[in-house]
Amino acid sequence: MSFKEKYARISRYYELLERPLDRFFCPLRKKAVSFIEGRRVLEVGVGVGKTLRYYGRNVELCAVDAVPEALEIARKKARKLGLNACFQLADVENLPFPDESFDTVVSSFVFCTVPDPEKGVREILRVLKPGGRAIFLEHTKSDSILLNYLVLLPLKVPLKVILDDDPLRETHRLVRRYFDVELEESHYNGIVRLILARKPLQG
C-alpha cells in the first residue's frame, strides 16, 4: 500500500490521532508560519490543514497534498477560517507551478514521507523566486546516537508500515545541499528541526 492510500485511510481521524502530540508540535507549526515572507505562499503536504490557523489573512496561500481526502478536510478548514487559499491535488516531486512562482514555501512534517525527498526539495527550489524562503519543520534523525538507536530505530518499521514514515531521514542535510540555510533550530535533540532556507539569488 502506498503512502497515499495510508493517509487516505486515516485522514478523517488524523486530528484525533495527533492530538497527544499537539502540545509539542503546534507551537512549532505556529513559529514556522511566522517566518513567512511575501504574499505568494505555497504549502506542500498540507494534510488536513494543521498549520492553517496560523496564517495571516494577507497571504495568498496555495496548498497542495497528494491525498484528496486530506485536502478536502483542509479546504473546509480554510473556508471556516476565511483564508485566501486555494487547494490542489499535487505531488511535491512534480509541482504543477511555473518556475519562480512563490515568495515562501512551507513544509511541515512532510519530508519524512516523500518517496524521493531530493526530487521534492529540488521542486521547492524551482518554484521559489530567487531569494525566496523555504520553511521546513521536519522530524529528522537525532543528533544523539543513543536516541537514534533506542527510540527512532525501533520506530522505523512500525512507522513505515502505518504511514510510510521514516524517522531517520536527514532532511536537514539535504536542505543544506540546495539552499543557503539561515536558521536551523533543533528540538528534542534534533528529532524535530525548524529550518529557514533561502534560495540563492543566482544559479
Single out the residue of 51, 140, 148, 171 in contact with ligand SAM (rule: CB under 6 A).
Answer: 51
CB of 94 to ligand SAM, least distance (A): 8
> Does 91 contact ligand SAM by CB under 6 A?
yes
CB of 201 to ligand SAM, least distance (A): 27
> Does 50 contact ligand SAM by CB under 6 A?
yes
Single out the residue of 59, 110, 124, 192 in contact with ligand SAM (rule: CB under 6 A).
Answer: 110
> Does 35 contact ligand SAM by CB under 6 A?
no
Q: Which is nearer to ligand SAM, 2 or 149 (CB)?
A: 2
> Does 70 contact ligand SAM by CB under 6 A?
yes
CB of 155 to ligand SAM, least distance (A): 14
Burial class (CB in 10 A: 0-12, 13-18, 19+), 17: exposed
- Residue with CB nearest ligand SAM? 47
> Does 62 contact ligand SAM by CB under 6 A?
no
Q: With contacts defined by CB under 6 A, how many residues of the chain interact with ligand SAM?
A: 20
Measuring CA to CA, which residue among 91, 90, 101 is closest to residue 126? 101
Name the β-bridge partners of 190. Answer: none
Residues 133-192 contacting ligand SAM, CB under 6 A: none
Measuring CA to CA, which residue among 137, 130, 129, 147 is closest to residue 175? 137
> Does 104 contact ligand SAM by CB under 6 A?
no
> Does 109 contact ligand SAM by CB under 6 A?
yes
> Does 54 contact ligand SAM by CB under 6 A?
no
Per CB under 6 A, residues contacting ligand SAM are 3, 7, 29, 45-47, 50-51, 65-67, 70, 91-93, 108-110, 113-114
